[in-house]
């Protein structure tokens, strides 16, 4: 089955969301999310896991968490990948973020439409998951929510360059992930999993409270390639949600 590619899906870890390989899976019909756990024994956690992502974040249940997100991103050579399930940008050396008091290197980020997480039942049309890995192999994701509005300048070259068919293409200019971030890094945190098969658990999610914007044209361009690539929200199963500023 597919290796798991890092950054949001990864290089050596392959994908925070994306498995490659012989087992075909998707987002609709008999290979859709409701059936992932039955497609392969390697996907069993998609069915049996108790801390699965994404979730509907109920803000009234969030407990205060004093640890702020600190980012130290930098411009990096990068490669755009259409892996058959999303558009992903792999970063050669994009810097790091301090999440929950630990340092994580950013590996990649990828996109979902609609956004996978919900906030108090509210859906967003688009989101980005920024995938990070610590020195001891732990994964953490910063999630950015998008509303439709003005063109997103940070993503302009990505949307102009993204491959319509499976494959890779280099981004011409170095990319700095900090250009994607909203003005506030206040967040909701929960323990979750990869949001694609095999749905491995042990991933910390930091979903930023402040949405950013992308244009209708940008959203339409992505949907021409991936009309829908979001896993439905999963049961909370007693997990705690925290928030930080």
Residues belonging to the active site: 85
Cα torsion at 162, 197, 105, 156 (round to 10°)?
A: 20
Q: Report the C-alpha gap between 170 and 187 in whole angstroms.
A: 31
C-alpha closest to that of 9 among 74, 70, 114, 81: 81
Q: Report the C-alpha gap between 6 and 203 in whole angstroms.
A: 13
């Amino acid at each position: 089955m597919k290796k798991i590619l890092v950054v949001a899906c990864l290089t050596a870890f392959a994908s925070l969301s994306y498995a490659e390989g012989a087992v075909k899976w998707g987002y609709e019909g008999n290979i859709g999310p409701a059936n992932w756990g039955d497609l392969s024994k390697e996907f069993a956690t998609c069915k049996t896991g108790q801390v699965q992502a994404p979730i509907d974040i109920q803000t009234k249940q969030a407990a205060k968490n004093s640890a702020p997100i600190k980012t130290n991103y930098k411009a990096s050579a990068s490669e755009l990948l259409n892996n058959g399930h999303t558009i992903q940008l792999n970063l050669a050396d994009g810097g790091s973020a301090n999440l929950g008091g630990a340092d994580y290197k950013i590996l990649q980020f990828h996109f979902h439409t609609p956004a996978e997480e919900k906030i108090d039942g509210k859906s967003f049309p688009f989101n980005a998951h920024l995938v990070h890995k610590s020195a001891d192999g732990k994964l953490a994701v910063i999630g950015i929510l998008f509303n439709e509005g003005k063109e997103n300048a940070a993503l302009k070259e990505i949307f102009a360059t993204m491959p319509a068919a499976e494959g890779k293409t280099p981004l011409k200019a170095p990319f700095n992930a900090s250009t994607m971030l909203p003005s506030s890094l206040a967040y909701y945190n929960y323990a979750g999993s990869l949001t694609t098969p095999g749905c491995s658990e042990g991933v910390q999610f930091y979903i930023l409270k402040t949405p950013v914007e992308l244009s209708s044209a940008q959203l339409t361009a992505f949907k021409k390639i991936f009309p829908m690539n979001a896993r439905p929200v999963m049961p909370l199963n007693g997990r705690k949600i925290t928030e930080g500023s």
